[in-house]
Amino acid sequence: MEKLELKYEGKAKKVYATDEKNYYWVAYKDDATAFNGEKKGQIADKGEVNNQLSALFFTEIEKAGIPTHFVRLLGQRDMLVRKLDMIPLEVVVRNIVAGSLSKRLGVEEGFILSQPVVELYYKDDALGDPMVNESHVAAMGWAKLEIAKEIQVMGLKVNEILRNILAKAGIDLIDFKLEFGIDNGKVILGDEISPDTCRYWDIKTREKLDKDRFRRDLGQVEEAYQEVFRRVKEVLAGQ
Ligand code: C5P
């Protein structure tokens, strides 16, 4: 597999063409941003953790019957993925109130929701990724209504899979963000699943083990990323 021209550079990843036209080479970076790019920094070895942890999660999600773009690892911080026609939406699933939901509803962080909440956001940096509902999605033509519904159902299924694995690792899955794309008319899970895109709290100590340590200057950022990776790897190796 050859890495060809750079197709796209995001905040956390670089995407390259390969010698096979239906596949992309994704290289995960250590760069970290928060608050829509206002805060910038680096988290040592983040690229390695996010690449390899995403690969572990994608593999488990595939096993449970949900298609993902992940094909195989190409190195410590590189993976091969299927090329998707990305849907310009973020699907956020929440089990416990934190972050923007806490602010929006005036509810304390840590409040346990009686059932998972699913939200849709329109991906647009200039607008700060506004929250939208499925009728906005259909009316604006960002995706068909049935696709908007399907990605929310898939988000809830992924929630069950991840929650299960993480619980065994002594971690509460607070919330997370997914992105989807279309390949051959089929909806496929894309992007990454990592401490950059999820909130993880230690079940016992309630310590934050995710990007909130960077966003809120809590220190021990690298250590938290490594700790989640170590625990998840251990759980999956023992299965
Ligand atoms: O900021 P908010 O509380 O809405 O984030 C919900 C979840 O989605 C968090 O786990 C956060 O890391 C993730 N997220 C993300 N990328 C965004 C927005 C949110 O990964 N652009």
For CA atoms 227, 229, 232, 235, the dihedral sign is negative
Question: pTM for this one?
Answer: 0.98
Q: Is 170 in the pocket of ligand 1 (CB under 6 A)?
A: no
CA-nearest residue for atom 3, ligand 1, is 99
ipTM: 0.98
| Ligand 1 geometric centre to CA of 21 (Å) | 31
> Are 64 and 121 found together in one domain?
no
> Are 208 and 149 found together in one domain?
yes
> Are 159 and 182 found together in one domain?
yes
Q: How far is CA 211 from CA 19, 176, 194, 199, in A?
A: 34, 11, 9, 7
Q: 82, 102, 119 — which closes off a domain?
A: 82
Specify burial of residue 200 (Cβ count, 10 A radius: 0-12, 13-18, 19+): buried
> Are 93 and 24 found together in one domain?
no
| Ligand 1 geometric centre to CA of 1 (Å) | 33
Q: Please give the number of the atom of ligand 1 that sits closest to the Cα of 92.
A: 8
Q: Is 200 in the pocket of ligand 1 (CB under 6 A)?
A: no
Candidates 113, 197, 209: which one to mutate for ligand 1, based on the most atoms within 8 Å of Cβ?
197
Q: Is 60 in the pocket of ligand 1 (CB under 6 A)?
A: no
Q: Is 213 in the pocket of ligand 1 (CB under 6 A)?
A: no
Name the percent of the chain lying above pLDDT 70.
100
Q: Is 208 in the pocket of ligand 1 (CB under 6 A)?
A: no
- Provide the 3-class DSSP secondary structure of residue 78: strand
> Are 113 and 13 found together in one domain?
no
Q: Is 211 in the pocket of ligand 1 (CB under 6 A)?
A: yes
Predicted confidence band at 55 (pLDDT cuts at 50, 70, 90)?
Answer: very high
- Provide the 3-class DSSP secondary structure of residue 165: helix
Domain interval for residue 72: 3-82
Give the helix/strand (H/E) hosting 91.
strand 89-96
Output the pLDDT for position 1.
Answer: 86
- Residue 203 sits in a domain whose CATH number is 3.30.470.20
> Are 142 and 184 found together in one domain?
yes
Residue 236 lies in a domain: no
User: 17: which 2 tokens?
Assistant: 């063409």
Give the helix/strand (H/E) hosting 23.
strand 23-28
Q: Are strands 39-42 and 31-34 parallel, antiparallel or unpaired?
A: antiparallel
Output the pLDDT for position 93.
Answer: 99
> Are 40 and 127 found together in one domain?
no
Asked if residue 87 has pLDDT above 90, the reply is yes
Q: How many CB atoms lie within 10 A of CB 180?
A: 24
> Are 78 and 89 found together in one domain?
no
- What whole-number distance in Å separates Cα of residue 170 and Cα of residue 29? 27
Q: Is 77 in the pocket of ligand 1 (CB under 6 A)?
A: no
Q: Is 212 in the pocket of ligand 1 (CB under 6 A)?
A: no
Chain centroid offset of residue 195 CA: 8
Output the pLDDT for position 237.
Answer: 97
DSSP assignment of 96-130 equals E--HHHHHHHT--TTPEEEEEEEEEEE--GGGT--
Mean pLDDT of the chain: 98
Give the helix/strand (H/E) hosting 25.
strand 23-28
